Chain A
Amino acid sequence: MATTEQEVNELIKREYEHGFVTEIETDTFEPGLNEDVIARLSAIKKEPEFMLEWRLKAYRRWLEMKEPNWAHVGYPKIDYNSISYYSAPKRKEDMPQSLDDIDPELLRTYEKLGIPLHERAQLAGVAVDAVFDSVSVATTFKEPLAKAGVIFCSISEAVRDYPELVQKYLGSVVPHTDNYFAGLNAAVFSDGTFVYVPKGVRCPMELSTYFRINAANTGQFERTLIIADEGSYVSYLEGCTAPMRDENQLHAAVVELVALDDAQIKYSTVQNWYPGDENGKGGIFNFVTKRAACIGKNSKVSWTQVETGSAVTWKYPSCILRGENSVGEFYSVALTHNYQQADTGTKMIHLGKNTSSTIISKGISAGKSSNTYRGLVKFGPRAEGARNFTQCDSLLIGDRCGAHTFPYIESLNKSAIVEHEATTSKVSDEQMFLCRQRGIDPEQAVSMIVNGFCKEVFKELPMEFAVEAGKLLEVSLEGSVG
């Protein structure tokens, strides 16, 4: 939360620079999806020819695909023709004019999370004036990055400025044929992040969507591509702990990571989108495809996620461990409350020799929610000496919630070793008694116990994130006891 001023500054600058209203007649497309819409979208973004073709190919294939129904979630049918597939960022006049126009419930949450006043306005989508003029964004992060040779920009810019990199890697990890939502994303993705870390470079700072203000308006079909060249290192943070105001109900993002020889990528997510109200009304559908390809020898990808938001989450950050000695890690905390549903987990596909992976998943379900871990660990016939350790624990709070585990384990190699453990338990009466006896109120006690339950994952998060994640759980669990 340290860089709000920069963000605000950049937001203002951006809108000013581009205006967003000049060339096109309307800011928002009519709802509906067809090849015309895609062509217009591509034209507005000034994309090269190959991108349009790529999008159209994805769209034609998507038409033949069926929406998956295997996940342990239920949601009303989505009408893809009632969605508008392009919307320019809002102008100031259209936004709520002050914090007084914002839902007081949301403001209370901000207060509990300890978010500074001026940040609250920005998060709530209030049109902000240039009150906090400050250090230029360029000097704080653009310069050191440029010096190191790291490319960090929006994917739309990358398509125009680095077409050879984009053409080589876009869709190489998650092809448009992969699944229904990835296909849709490939056809209509709005914007997202592009990162390229050149050979031997250790990225000098933690990158975050937070820095890049257009990320606040990437819309519902975000696309991220991160490439770590030989011997490089990058840590990327996605999302933010404060609940964002968002008008799109369906989110279908795709994240692709590529790690070459000796490269290392650390990808951390904190997701706290609107989960719907206490009765399960509204809330965001988050159908995300995240996958990393460890192509190079000794490469390493580590996914860390804290999921507390969205009405329905459908998300499996995965690693394809192709390079020799490559390493995949997955650390996850998923918390569901009220009527939230989460079906999340990971896939570790071991193809190369001596590849190893670790999966630590902690699911917490409260209220009437349902929380599912679904994972795949697969050893190909050439994965000599491969190794996996999986632990997935579930914690139940309340007797109307569900916690499920569906781990798929497939082994084709004699020398590969896999271990899987899962437990399910509740916050025990003894633990509660111990806390209560010492004068800790029940709500705080539960929060303490839950924090302890998640410790293994939190310690993998960058420090500021970890502190916030702890607080976030506390807020999310409110009202689950008593």
Chain B
Amino acid sequence: MKPAPTLSTAFLHPAGQALPEPLLALRKQRGAALVDMPLPTRKTENWKYSSKYLKLTDEMASSLPINGKAGSALAVPGYKVVFINGMVIPEACEYPDLNNILIQRFGDLSDAEASELAERLDSTLDKKAVQLAGLNSARFEDGLVIRLKPDAVLDQPLFIIHEVTAGHSGSAFPRIFVDAGRNSKITLVEEYISSGQEAVMVNTVTEFNLAEGANVTNIRLSMDGENVQHIGATGVLQQRSSRFESHCVGFGGPLRRHDLQVRLEGEGAECKLNGVVVTQGTQHYDNHTTIEHVAPHCDSEETYRNIAADKSHAVFNGRIHIHQDAQKSNANMNNKNLLLNTGAEIDTKPELEIYADDVKCAHGATIGQLDEESLFYLVSRGISRREANVLLTMAFINELVAQIPVDAVKDTVQTHLNQFFDQTFQEA
């Protein structure tokens, strides 16, 4: 047997020393743990369907330099932070200077603040399950920390634009850490975009800590180009009566992988996870979600929809884990998939792992195609076949798109969906 390939040492040389000492130390320590890390293979359970899409060449190991400010020009209906190639661009950012909401770059933190942060980085993630997110911890060159004091409410959504400029091969490691205090409230929009043509990797980690009663909405829009391998991890820790809402909308690429891990640690915490994935051509998208019910009386609701066209490949793996003391848990997971062409592939695995008896848990998964009879009904009323296809496909995901709470994001999603419809459904 061939020995499993390990992570090339080329990836273990972080650039950018402009960080406070505690963070540099953390980075070094995390890097040491990655020496000889085996890369996922088909036999790696949580990379079973995606490992063959992962192509890390040594050319991609270097950090991308900062050049160009394309993303910074983007107008957004709210506050804005711009990352280019993993670095925050202060001059492109627009957000108010508030007493109770602190938005800071990692590089601007005092040593005391940085060492406090270093303690808490990675604490929301199950490191074993997100092996490749470890790379972010070893390589991040900058990051954003958002701290909401108790009762602080950000009045407009905060847009975080992540852009990679792929002038040449390399990687970017943007990182966000959110600490939402008691009864605070924020809507955070992450948009991932790219320019340039060379093969690059974006490796992101976003972490949320929700104190009692905090309310966080996270929208994640993945719109990177065909040259970008995107590996992202989001970790969420929820205390008593907090509420987390996530909307992930993703368009495929050579490799798209997102791990979303939520731990409900306080009684009465609640989370709602929505996801829409659209793939075409030979694209790939893989969503892995985990919801851990640690405390009793928590609710979770998860709805993911995948659409795969042409020869593309969409993967969903949802796991609900109810711990022994999490009585009266309520968990619902639903994954529906639309396979538009033979040749495309959908793999789904909705898992339940339950150790408490007084719970209500259900999951459902389906894979199917557009209903011929519905198509016929529409066509027989004079609607063109293409239009009928678009209507029915849109209907499949509209429920989720309509729930996105920021209108501007909804419009962006619709624009991308229309492009997808144009390429997928030709006029007969």
Contacts and interface: CB of A to CB of B under 8 A. Distances in A.
Interface of A: 70, 379, 381, 394, 396-426
B376 interface: no
Contacts of A379: 367
Nearest to A405: B352
Given A397-B357, A413-B339, A418-B368, 19 more contacts: A379-B367, A394-B352, A399-B356, A400-B324, A403-B354, A404-B354, A406-B349, A407-B365, A409-B349, A410-B348, A413-B342, A414-B344, A417-B366, A417-B368, A418-B365, A419-B365, A420-B363, A420-B365, A423-B362
A425 B360 contact: yes
Contacts of B363: 405, 420-422
A272 B394 CA distance: 52
A480 B14 CA distance: 58
B138 to A, nearest CB: 28
Nearest to B309: A414
Interface in B303-353: 324, 327, 337, 339-353
B324 A405 contact: no
A404 B45 CA distance: 17
A398 B45 CA distance: 31
B367 A424 contact: no
B369 interface: yes
Interface of B: 45, 324, 327, 337, 339-369
B23 to A, nearest CB: 37
Nearest to A397: B357
A422 B362 contact: yes
B342 A424 contact: no
Given A399-B327, A416-B367, A418-B368, A426 B358 contact: yes
Contact of A411 (B345, B356, B359): B345
A59 B69 CA distance: 64
A419 B350 CA distance: 12
B355 A402 contact: yes
Classify the secondary structure of B's interface with A.
strand
Contacts of A413: 339, 342
Contacts of B327: 399
Contacts of A398: 357
A401 B361 contact: no
Contacts of A426: 357-359
A480 to B, nearest CB: 11
Contacts of A381: 342-343
Nearest to B359: A424
Contact of A404 (B324, B347, B349, B352): B352
- Shortest beta-carbon contacts, A-B, top 6: A396-B357, A405-B352, A414-B342, A424-B361, A420-B365, A411-B367
Contacts of B360: 424-425
B325 to A, nearest CB: 9
A404 B353 contact: yes
B345 A421 contact: no
22 contacts: A381-B343, A396-B354, A401-B355, A404-B351, A404-B352, A405-B353, A406-B349, A407-B350, A407-B365, A408-B349, A410-B345, A410-B348, A412-B342, A412-B345, A415-B369, A416-B368, A420-B363, A421-B362, A422-B352, A422-B364, A425-B359, A426-B359
Given A415-B369, A418-B367, A422-B363, A410 B354 contact: no
A400 B352 CA distance: 16
B351 A405 contact: yes
Nearest to B45: A70
B358 A399 contact: yes
A415 B342 contact: yes
B354 A402 contact: yes
Which of A401, A405, A423 counts the most B-chain CB atoms under 10 A from its CB?
Answer: A405
B303 to A, nearest CB: 15
A417 B336 CA distance: 11
A64 B342 CA distance: 38
Contact of B353 (A402, A408, A417): A402
Given A408-B349, A410-B347, A411-B339, A424 B354 contact: yes
A411 B315 CA distance: 10
A65 to B, nearest CB: 10
A365 to B, nearest CB: 9
A420 B348 CA distance: 10
B365 A409 contact: yes
A423 B364 CA distance: 9
B255 to A, nearest CB: 19
A397 B354 CA distance: 12
A396 B354 CA distance: 9
B3 to A, nearest CB: 14
Contacts of B343: 381, 412, 414
Nearest to B313: A412
A405 B349 CA distance: 9
B324 A399 contact: yes
A411 B350 contact: no
Nearest to A429: B358
Nearest to B360: A425
A398 B341 CA distance: 46
Nearest to A409: B348
A410 B366 CA distance: 10
A411 B346 contact: yes
Contact of B347 (A399, A403, A409, A414): A409
Given A403-B352, A404-B351, A421-B364, A414 B341 contact: yes
Given A70-B45, A404-B353, A422-B352, A414 B339 contact: yes
A295 B347 CA distance: 25
A401 B349 CA distance: 23
